[in-house]
Amino acid sequence: MNERLRERAGPELLERLVHLDRRRPPPPTAPPSPPPGDGADFDVAIAGGGLSLLLAPALASLGLRVAVVERGRAGDVHREWNASGPELCPLHESGLFTADEVDALVVNRYREGVCRWHGGGAHPVRGVLDHAVDAGRLLAQVRVLAEKRGVTVLDRASVRGETAGRDAVALDVDGRVLTARVMVDARGATSPYATADLVCPTVGGVVAGLDVDPRVGDILATTEGVEEGRQHLWEAFPGRPGETTVYLFFYARAGDVPPGALVALYDRFFARLPAYARGEARLLRPTFGHIPGWSRLGPAPRAPSPRILLFGDAAARHSPLTFCGFGAMLRTFAPAARAIAAALDGRRYRAPDLFPEEPIHRFTGALARLIARPGPRPDALNGLLDAAFAALGSMGNDAYAALLQDRMRPEEFVEFLRRTAARRPSVYREAAGRLGPLALARWGGRVARSLR
């Protein structure tokens, strides 16, 4: 298998995958607790400089001293991102960009997106993930803005450990101790506090040479039934002319991902890509990793101190159904910056809530957990998903889009469940078999309480 993957992906990518699959983070160090008082080096230290970089200039514009610590180069990305048009509005409403500058970041717009299931139908929806964004250009410009506003950027540096005191956090940055009144942990799955109960191993990247309709995006798609105990899903979004961002992934419970999962998944990606999309595929920019997700059926990830704030994938507060971090970050970064500034400005510091919970997340998390346990029958999950999305389509585009964008109201969700059960009467028995009776009862109770 490794030889086939080496031939298609190249030896460097294979070595990075093997390293990530085998890697165990070193034991964290514990720098001395910072002394009480107002002598911290920074107001906010952000550990991680990917998409969370959006937070840095927003914080700096509020008068805070900000540092960003990134183990690579802050602002470098290897993929494109997708969002709906309205989700991009915070980029200019926050003052980071003008509306024209945001428009220039869009490299493609789609007529519609599609969710389609093996053995079932294709279910189109409009206004969802229909704008492809030049992620590299976006974050390069965000970095320039951050540095102009006085943000200290530490590239190729890692936070080896942290110790929270009464008034600040001490960070061990490759043996050098920095202090900040608040640490924002944006290290994603590598954070020691990323303890969400779901994980989404994902591989793919920007691919050239595929024969796809540039006006249509695949939001969720399957091309086979359950294999190896997993339901593999595809996602594909055309970007620049001749380029398509393609991912292959599966949902799993956090403890169920075996060693070597990313290598095996990339091998499957190259083996199955010709059946998924025609053309002579060439991988231009690889993307891979483990995306944490939280089902809302168990405890949320928590940091050990109110002065350590989990952000982005580390917090896993994005959609538990689609695991989409870009749209959640766009909605969150400006309010989060204001919340942090207000907390630090108060006479008594209280940890701010950076991710006010979307009501729909209490419901869709169970659906993600259900997909993570697909069951032994190869086509049963696809049949269930096809019935569910057919029911969504029957409710109209607004309701369909609202579910995928975390906007669906509880009463609409109950109607969605009713229509799904009418199409597939076995749905509750199947859900009980995959979730277990206790989780199903807990989920049902939340749905019922939301309607009171």
Tell how many helices (H) and how many strands (E) occur in the chain: 14, 18
Per-residue pLDDT at 450 exceeds 80: no
Q: Per the domain annotation, does 394 fall within a domain?
A: yes
| Mean pLDDT of the 238-266 span | 92
Residue 102 in domain: no
Query: Is 65 among the domain residues?
Result: no
pLDDT of residue 375: 79
> Which among 311, 313, 303, 352 has a CA at the least distance from the CA of 333?
311
pLDDT of residue 406: 87
pLDDT tens by residue, 260-276: 899 899 999 999 999 99
Q: What is the mean pLDDT of the chain?
A: 90
Burial (0-12, 13-18, 19+ Cβ within 10 Å), 156: exposed
- Over pLDDT 70: what percentage of the chain? 94
Confidence of residue 298 (pLDDT cuts 50, 70, 90): confident
Same domain, 286 and 428: no
Nearest to 449 by CA among 420, 417, 410, 412: 410
Are both 268 and 400 inside the same structural domain?
no
C-alpha–C-alpha distance, residues 394 and 27, integer Å = 52
Is 417 within the bounds of a domain?
Answer: yes
Domain boundary among 290, 311, 343: 290
In this structure, the answer to whether residues 209 and 118 fall within a common structural domain is: yes
Domain count, the chain: 2
Whether residue 166 lies inside any domain: the answer is no
Cα dihedral across residues 207, 212, 216, 218: positive or negative: negative
Kindly tell me if the per-residue pLDDT of 89 is higher than 80: yes
pLDDT digits (tens, 9 = 90+) for 333-374: 999 999 999 999 987 899 998 987 788 888 888 888 888 988
- For residue 17, pLDDT over 80 is answered with no
Q: Which of 274, 290, 306 is the last residue of a domain?
A: 290
* CA pair distance 246, 266, nearest whole angstrom: 12
Q: How confident is the model at residue 38 (pLDDT cuts 50, 70, 90)?
A: confident
Mean pLDDT of 165-169: 95
Whether the per-residue pLDDT at 172 is higher than 90: the answer is yes
404 and 285 in one domain? no
Predicted confidence (pLDDT) at residue 85 exceeds the cutoff of 80: yes
Based on the fold, state whether residues 111 and 224 are members of the same structural domain: yes
> Among 47-61, 123-137, 309-323, whose mean pLDDT is lowest?
309-323
398-417 residue pLDDT tens: 999 999 988 899 899 999 99
Predicted local confidence at residue 324, as pLDDT: 72
Per-residue confidence (pLDDT) for residue 2, from 0 to 100: 64
Yes or no: say if 209 and 282 are a contact pair by the CB < 8 Å rule.
yes
CATH code assigned at 230: 3.30.9
Residues 119 and 219 in one domain: yes
Is residue 203 located within the same domain as residue 286? yes
C-alpha separations of 406 from 187, 363, 364, 399, 400 in Å: 24, 10, 9, 10, 10
Residue 253 maps to a domain: yes
- Domain assignment present for 51: no
Are residues 282 and 369 part of one domain? Answer: no
Could you tell me if residue 432 is inside a domain? yes
230 confidence band (pLDDT: 50, 70, 90): very high
127 in the same domain as 17? yes
- pLDDT band at residue 81 under the 50/70/90 scheme: confident
Overall average pLDDT of the 215-242 stretch: 94
Same domain, 281 and 375: no
Q: For residues 11 and 98, which has the higher predicted lDDT (pLDDT)?
A: 98
Say what the pTM is. Answer: 0.91
The residue from 270, 290, 310 where one domain ends is: 290
Domain containing 437 equals 361-450
pLDDT band for position 25 (cuts 50, 70, 90):
low
**How many angstroms from the chain centroid is the CA of residue 217?**
18
Give the pLDDT score at 101: 96
Residue 328 pLDDT grade (very low, low, confident, very high; cuts 50, 70, 90): confident
Q: Are residues 262 and 409 in the same domain?
A: no
pLDDT at 1: 54
45, pLDDT greater than 80: yes
372 and 282 together in one domain:
no
